[in-house]
Amino acid sequence: THLHGKYVKHPFCDRSLPIIHDDFVDMTFGTGAVKITPAHDHNDYEVGKKHDLPFLTIMNEDGIIIGDCTQFNGMKRFDARKAVTEALKELGLYRGTKDNPMVVPICSRSKDVVEPLIKSQWYIKCDEMARQAKEAVVSGELKIIPEYHTKTWYHWMDNIRDWCVSRQLWWGHRIPAYFVTIDDPSVPSGNDTDNDYWVTGRNEEEALRKAASKFRVPTDKVKLRQDADVLDTWFSSGLFPFSIFGWPDDTDELRAFYPGSLLETGHDIIFFWVARMVFFGQRLLNKLPFREVFLHPIVRDAHGRKMSKSLGNVIDPMDVILGASLEQLHDQLLESNLDPREVEKAMAGQKQDYPNGIPECGTDALRFALCAYLTQGRDINLDILRVQGYRFFCNKLWNAVKFALTYLTGDIDTSSDVSAGYSRLVS
């Protein structure tokens, strides 16, 4: 604690670094002294906000070093690491290196190390929408099945944050926001981070009119540049219950089929999809999109792993119904768009899990298994051998009924009621 509030001098640039205390640090891991880079780490960002630290960007989008430490500028990130080590040695400040296990974010496609950067984003304020969504469940207007998922619902609604809806991706619904430049020296120029120089519109013509009115200039003096970002996919999905019926137009289909009665989906997207549909339904149409939500368990493989193409553990229902040899499973991977390295890994996974392929089980056995698994809770660890066992059971049931029918002659009277005693016995 004697160092709290003190400063240390940066070895490579004219800057003082504050020493802070925070319970975010795990004192049992390493020395207990850690760096804080608010502009390049999600957790450090929160700590930086808490302690009012500067947000300094030292890397651009190409992974090249930038900033005040000019001797490293222009270097690639991994080259800069080695250069910093050598520079510390030259200054006599190097104290050694010790390996520590840590979680490193890796891109699922390129397998490269992911480097977080701070970028301007678009946000939606969700406080009021979350309050209304919670009230809908509390009042019983919206029913969540099974009921224990309401605890998760309340947790999300009580701890709601502003929703970042912008994504730096190639595909998606482009954000309808336009940056305004005015061809008039009397109007000062703005920059991308200034919200006053952005307008929104259903199309460019509408945005142009808004910009001209906002800055009180003719439309021919206005230049627009649409933001290249796209909307979060859950934003687009949240509009689904009414956009499919022609909204925002007041169509016959919208009046006839909105709102719906029941939504059935996996419990893992109760916030990402279900809540967003409720948000938009109440906000834009003043109606809940459905009255009930049934949240089913998530189907995983026999080992409890999430199904993934790259792991080779995705179970196609048609393969379970019709059966598939190991060679056929491999052929499906070869026809996919997986990277050759992922195909090789997936084939190894298939060979381990299904050395003899997937046996033909039929539709009844698969239905029986999925219904039986519902008692398992939040997840279904789908074991093909168990499905095959239900196939054998269904065969026995079929043969037993077929055998019994050979001894039944004439019409069967089904009109008489079963006595209460037999009812208790059967139940």
Residue 417 resides in a domain: no
SS (H, E, C) 313-329: CCCCHHHHHHCECHHHH
Q: What is the DSSP string of 38-55?
A: TTS-HHHHHHHHHTT---
Total of domains in the chain: 4
- What span, in angstroms and rounded, lies between the C-alpha atoms of 40 and 56? 9
* 167 strand-pairing partners: 230
Residue 420 resides in a domain: no
Residue 108 resides in a domain: no
pLDDT tens readout for residues 17-51: 999 988 888 877 777 788 899 999 989 999 999 99
Angle between helices 362-373 and 384-405 (to 10 degrees): 120
Instruction: Check whether residue 194 and residue 318 sit in a common domain.
Output: no
Instruction: Check whether residue 325 and residue 392 sit in a common domain.
Output: yes
Pairing between β-strand 298-300 and β-strand 379-381 as defined by DSSP bridges: parallel
Instruction: Check whether residue 398 and residue 316 sit in a common domain.
Output: yes
Can the peptide bond before residue 259 be classed as cis, meaning omega within 30 degrees of 0? yes
- What span, in angstroms and rounded, lies between the C-alpha atoms of 129 and 241? 17
Residue with tokens 């003043």: 286
- What span, in angstroms and rounded, lies between the C-alpha atoms of 133 and 277? 10
Instruction: Check whether residue 281 and residue 213 sit in a common domain.
Output: no
CA atoms within 13 A on the CB side of 249: 6
Structural domain of 265? 123-166+233-296
Pairing between β-strand 166-167 and β-strand 230-231 as defined by DSSP bridges: antiparallel
Instruction: Check whether residue 78 and residue 213 sit in a common domain.
Output: no
- Please state the φ and ψ torsions of residue 76, each to the nearest 5 degrees: -70, 155
Instruction: Check whether residue 250 and residue 160 sit in a common domain.
Output: yes
CB 382 within 8 A of CB 302: yes
Give the closest residue to 274 by CA, choosing from 257, 305, 295, 253: 295
pLDDT at 100: 80
pLDDT at 423: 54
Instruction: Check whether residue 143 and residue 256 sit in a common domain.
Output: yes
CB atoms within 10 A of CB 27: 9
Q: What is the pTM of this model?
A: 0.78
Instruction: Check whether residue 398 and residue 318 sit in a common domain.
Output: yes
User: Taken in order 63, 64, 68, 70, is the CA torsion positive or negative?
Assistant: positive
Angle value at C-alpha 60, between 196 and 9, nearest 5 degrees: 100
Residue 289 resides in a domain: yes
- The SS3 assignment for 295 reads strand
Instruction: Check whether residue 185 and residue 328 sit in a common domain.
Output: no
- What span, in angstroms and rounded, lies between the C-alpha atoms of 384 and 373? 12
User: Taken in order 244, 246, 247, 251, is the CA torsion positive or negative?
Assistant: negative
For residue 208, give the H/E element and its range.
helix 204-215
Distances (CA, A) of 43 to 36, 47, 112: 9, 6, 21
Instruction: Check whether residue 196 and residue 278 sit in a common domain.
Output: no
List the pLDDT tens digit at each of the 427 positions of the chain: 788 889 999 999 989 999 998 888 887 777 778 889 999 998 999 999 999 999 999 999 999 999 998 999 999 999 999 999 999 999 999 999 888 888 899 987 788 999 999 999 999 999 999 999 999 999 999 999 999 999 999 999 999 999 999 999 989 999 999 999 999 988 999 988 899 999 999 999 999 999 999 999 999 999 999 999 999 999 999 999 999 999 999 999 999 999 999 999 999 999 999 999 999 999 999 999 999 999 988 888 888 888 877 777 888 999 999 999 999 999 988 888 777 888 888 888 889 888 999 999 999 999 999 888 877 678 888 899 999 999 999 999 999 999 988 887 666 665 666 555 555 555 4
Buried/exposed code over 372-407 (b: 16+ C-beta within 10 A; e: otherwise): ebeeeeeebbbebebbbebbeebeeeeeeeeeeeee
Instruction: Check whether residue 271 and residue 138 sit in a common domain.
Output: yes
Q: Give the tokens for residue 209.
A: 């009119």
Residue 171 resides in a domain: no
- Report the amino acid identity of residue 235: F
pLDDT tens readout for residues 157-174: 999 999 999 999 989 999
